[in-house]
Amino acid sequence: MDEKINLKEIEKKSFKSFFGTGIHDIGFGILLLTIAIAPLIRESFGYWYIAVIIIPSPLVISLGMRYIGNARIGKVKFGVKRKSSAKMIKKITLVSTTLLIALVVLTFSGIFPGQIVTFLGGGAMFMLTIAIVVFVFMGVLAYIMDFSNLILYGLVIGIGITTAEILRGIIGAPLDSLLTFGILGSLLTIYGIINLSRFMKKYPKPEG
């Protein structure tokens, strides 16, 4: 084997060790679970329910990585290529967060989504479009970040959005999202816990 490929593999393996902890899976599973209960907590929290959805997942990931992941794998600063990828991710996150905030403002001010929903041909078609956009977006992030689990997350969100929309016509709201995202979130969290226990077994906490 070419030695250049070996070095690339070493770098890739080192980088991927940070995503094999299961903490990201748990964090994403928690995000889906908070989406599942969103219609219920909306009544008690008002518009602040968005914060209840957004905050727990990154909090679990950052605390988990700090106290479990990094404490067991160790710390590393990657090279120029990874740094430029990280910069691009920051830019994409900034743009998408701005768009998300704009969407929320437009929705609450009544301008959106009526017009676009009609343009896309109704509820189910609109939700399918959102699912595809989310899946493609996650796919692009997965490619840039070299983190293939993001494709799985994109797929899970895509399936969740379309299934919830289909179920809404049968069992109504809020059971549609509670059931869909509840099941998907639980499955992903369990998958993350299994991965985390494997990781903790493989990398015991260093003494001292």
For the bound state, the minimum distance from the C-beta of residue 202 to another protein, rounded and expressed in Å, comes to 9
Which of 67, 78, 108, 143 binds another protein (CB under 8 A)? It is 78
Backbone torsion region of residue 155, taken as left when φ is above 0, otherwise alpha when ψ lies between -120 and 50, otherwise beta: alpha
Amino acid at 55: I
Residue 69: CB atoms within 10 A of its CB come to 24
Could you tell me the two tokens for 43?
């009544």
How many CB atoms neighbour CB 25 within 10 A? 25
Residue placing its CB nearer to another protein in the complex, 137 or 203: 203
46 lies in the site for another protein, by CB under 8 A? no
CB 68 within 8 A of CB 23: yes
Among residue numbers 187 through 206, which ones bind another protein (CB under 8 A)? 203, 206
Our finding on whether 73 is near another protein (CB under 8 A) is: yes
Q: Is 91 in the site for another protein (CB under 8 A)?
A: no
Stretch that binds another protein, among 37-45, 71-79, 108-116, 147-155 (CB under 8 A): 71-79
Task: Please state the closest distance from residue 98 (CB atom) to another protein, in A.
Answer: 31
Contact letters for another protein, residues 6-25 (x by CB under 8 A): xxx-xx-xx--x--------
Size of the site for another protein (CB under 8 A): 19
Count the Cβ atoms, other than its own, within 10 Å of residue 30: 21
Answer for the pair 153, 19: CB distance below 8 angstroms, yes or no. no
> Rule CB under 8 A: which residues touch another protein?
3, 6-8, 10-11, 13-14, 17, 72-79, 203, 206
